[in-house]
Amino acid sequence: MKYFNKILIANRGEIALRIIRTLKEMNIDSVAVFSEADRASLHVREASEAVCIGPAPSNESYLCIPQVIAAAKLTGADAIHPGYGFLAENPDFSQACKKEGIVFIGPDAASMKKLGHKAMARAIAIKSKIPITPGTNGCVFKNFLQEAKKIGYPLMVKAAAGGGGKGIRLVREASQLNNAVEMASNEAKAAFNNGDVYFEKFIENPRHVEIQFARDSKGNVVSFPERDCSTQRRHQKLLEESPSPAVNKKTREQLMSAAVRLANTSNYVGVGTVEFLLDKDSNFYFMEVNTRLQVEHPVTEFITATDLVKEQVLIAAGEKLSVSQSQVSNFRGHAIEHRINAEDVNNNFAPSPGKINEFVVPGGQWVRVDTHIYQGYNLPFYYDSMLAKLIIWGATRKEAIARSKRALNEFFISGIHTTIDLQKKIVNNEDFAAGNIDTGFMEKLLEKDKTAV
């Protein structure tokens, strides 16, 4: 069955190409949009059609709603898939699609506003009987010191809108608070055009785990096994795996049940992710909801044999989910995703754009590489630094790590700096191998590297 004739992908690079591949398998034509800087990207080559929507700066192209809508109307697209980043969590974009009679492949604007706004999402979590970290009752606009005193230090100042680790500051004492609020608010305003912030108690050395869920318009809902995203630097994820080495069956069932309750309470229609903090005693606390596809969605796909983009398309077309809870609960093996970024690790992770002189990707059984680059490609400096995602599956975590080591040793990119060697250090680390990691793991690993020089 053909659910849509043509879908425009309002994104670029790796995720655009990943969506195009599923659309081809579903016999649906695709439209790629691109900025002038992305004319040579693989997603442009692989789409059925491609439309240039503006100059390189994202606010003049990928973030320009009128340009994206115009491209959809010009090409006769029935629907738009936003991918992740850019307009993916922008309720105005979802509403603009609806106004023009174009299906938005994601939740409606109302759900996005409620759950994409982190302070509002906390209220929904409470209504869904999900534990939350102590924090302010909504956003904080004044009396910062008084509000912080109620929570206690250390605490986090967090942007109410957006994601991706932006607009977040750790405050350990009162003297740091006003500056942290100003910095977090300014960063959030620049990134999401919304400078609202709220305060949340800081949990020392937690794990960052998340639950993928999908809910169709008929009320069918499925939650997937957890992903562990604790291997991160400055709130930016570097490696994700599923299942978590720290989560037992009982905690997994509790986490998955919590995600289902939240999806039903909010009447959410689409694919989304609930993020939690997990302490050393396996207590978990609601953190936020991402109302879009996650970068790390392939690890869930690997262990559950599910195409999450296909599920998004089915839901948007008014169809029921093609997978059941029993299917995804009966997952198999272990998956790891390595984010390969164009960054100079030895120069404070500075972006490293430029020409790809050589590009050799790993292969073999249960090895997947999602990327939009190739030998000779000129990587622009305007966008996110992610070059590729290396996704590995193994029957056990130990096997997946061994396969990761082999695949990373095969992965070779020259002409620019990348994080391949850093990923090798992670999988060769004894604490990582033992599963003894938390959100502070990377800082300790990098500090150890500094002292070893």
User: Distance (Å, rounded) from C-alpha 391 to C-alpha 338?
Assistant: 6
140 and 164 inside one domain = yes
Sign of the CA dihedral running 184, 190, 192, 196: positive
* Residue 399 domain flag: yes
- CATH code at position 248: 3.30.470.20
Asked if omega into 243 is within 30° of 0 (cis), the reply is yes
Asked which of 171, 201, 231 is the last residue of a domain, the reply is: 201
Mean pLDDT of 11-35: 98
222 and 192 inside one domain = no
Reported as a single tens digit per residue, the pLDDT across 273-312 is 999 999 988 999 999 999 999 999 999 999 999 999 999 9
194 and 251 inside one domain = no
Sheet with 103-104: list strands edge to edge: 49-54, 29-35, 6-9, 79-81, 103-104
* Residue 1 domain flag: no
Mean pLDDT of 142-156: 95
261 and 405 inside one domain = yes
- Residue 452 pLDDT: 57
pLDDT category of residue 418 using cuts at 50, 70 and 90:
very high
367 and 331 inside one domain = yes
Q: State the angle between helix axes of 249-265 and 118-127 in degrees (0 to 180), rounded to the nearest 10.
A: 110
Between 453 and 342, whose confidence is greater? 342
User: Distance (Å, rounded) from C-alpha 254 to C-alpha 245?
Assistant: 16
Reported as a single tens digit per residue, the pLDDT across 423-449 is 999 999 999 999 999 999 999 999 887
Mean pLDDT of 239-261: 98
339 and 426 inside one domain = yes
- CATH code at position 71: 3.40.50.20
- CATH code at position 173: 3.30.1490.20
Active-site residue (options: 12, 18, 169, 292): 292
Residue 10, domain extent: 6-105
155 and 91 inside one domain = no
Q: Give me the number of domains the chain comprises.
A: 3
| pLDDT at position 409 over 90 | yes
**Are the CB atoms for 422 and 342 separated by under 8 Å?**
no
Asked which of 168, 185, 201 is the last residue of a domain, the reply is: 201
- Mean pLDDT, the chain, whole residue set: 95
Reported as a single tens digit per residue, the pLDDT across 56-108 is 999 999 999 999 999 999 999 999 999 999 999 999 999 999 999 999 999 99
Active-site annotation holds for 292? yes
Closest CA to 56 of 381, 378, 352: 381
* Residue 12 domain flag: yes
Asked which of 169, 201, 233 is the last residue of a domain, the reply is: 201
This prediction's pTM: 0.91
377 and 342 inside one domain = yes
Residue type for position 204: E
User: Distance (Å, rounded) from C-alpha 376 to C-alpha 141?
Assistant: 50
Dihedral Cα 139, 144, 146, 149, nearest 10 deg? 90
| pLDDT at position 453 over 50 | no
Pairing of strands 6-9, 358-360: unpaired
